[in-house]
Structure 1
């Protein structure tokens, strides 16, 4: 118990305090603390709600960006397929061109080979003819020399001189 001489104060001994004192003090503490606690909790709730809204907005923005990126990826994949198709068409065209050129070169090679063979045959025939003519001339000259005597030789020279005089 608090004596009057001691002044006003709180008695912290729960067994000595009476229920009436507690009934007056506790509602006062609850009403003052309630407003402060309610204000703190409201501020905290607003911050949490604001953070949730912000997170939701960021999530929606990220979702939109993800959808845009997926559509860009799909477009890029289509472009890749188109480029691959064009590349395959180009490769096929190049292979056909290569085959065509190879065939043309092979045909030209065959033509050149045949031309070379023909020219070599003509060269051999020409050489053979020249050798044949040379052998024929040699045999003719040998035949003439073997038959020609001095009288026939003089007759031949006179005929040549006469032929030269008539042409002048």
Structure 2
């Protein structure tokens, strides 16, 4: 192996013109080799690199356009959602206010109905009391009348004799006869 390496090294030092060989001087050959490789790469790779860059640019632009469209769509959806939210909030406020006013109305109706019922019950109570008072008064009157009548009958029975009895009957018949003639 040492022989192969030595032969390459020995080939690199032949000073013959037009022959091919390896220059082992790194400082002299490196910029030349690099410029040749870069030139070849630029010449042949320029089209491929341009195509790759154009494709990449198109994909980036397409992605940006899609992103912009998605963003616009999202903004539109957001605005629609906000509008819908405002509408729902307004409806909720209306329902809430209607509910509160309905509750207030029901409360007032209930209070009024309760007041009416209490008033009717008060009137019924007063009528019942008045009726009971009248009934009690009538019972007392009847008792007083019965007692007075019994007392009067007792007094009459004890004081009346037959002649006084006949005179009273005749006087009453005379009064009834006179009343009958007046009406005719």
Give the TM-score normalised by the residue count of structure 2.
0.64
Flag the 1:91–1:19 CA change in 2: closer, same or farther, 3 A: closer
Offset of residue 25 of structure 1:
3.8
Match of 2:128 among 113, 116, 129: 116
Structure 1 runs not aligned, ≥5 long: 160-168
Q: Matched residues in 1 for 2:21 and 2:100: separation?
A: 98
Q: 1:40 is matched with which residue? A: 52
Tell me what 2:65 maps to.
Answer: 53
Post-superposition CA distance 1:68-94 (Å, at most 9, x none): 111111111221222223223323332
Alpha-carbon spacing, 1:32–1:123, altered in 2? closer, same or farther (3 Å): same
- CA distance in 1 between partners of 2:48 and 2:28 (Å): 30
Please tell me whether the aligned partners of residues 11 and 17 of structure 1 are also in contact (alpha carbons under 8 angstroms).
yes
> Rg bigger for which structure?
2
User: Which of 141, 147, 154 does residue 135 from structure 1 map onto?
Assistant: 147
Partner of 2:76: 64
CA shift, 1:130, in A, is 2.2
Superposition pairs for residues 6-155 of structure 1, below 5 Å? 14-15=26-27, 17=29, 22-147=34-159, 152=162
Give deviations 1:93-120, integer Å, cap 9, x for gaps: 3233223223322321221121011101
Q: CA deviation at 1:14?
A: 4.0
Choose between structure 1 and 2 for higher RCO, CA contacts under 8 A separated by at least 6 residues: 1
Count of aligned pairs: 151
Q: What's the Cα RMSD here?
A: 3.4
* Distance change >3 Å, CA 2–CA 131, structure 1 → 2: farther
Using the size of structure 1 for normalisation, the TM-score is: 0.69
- Report deviation, 1:61: 0.3
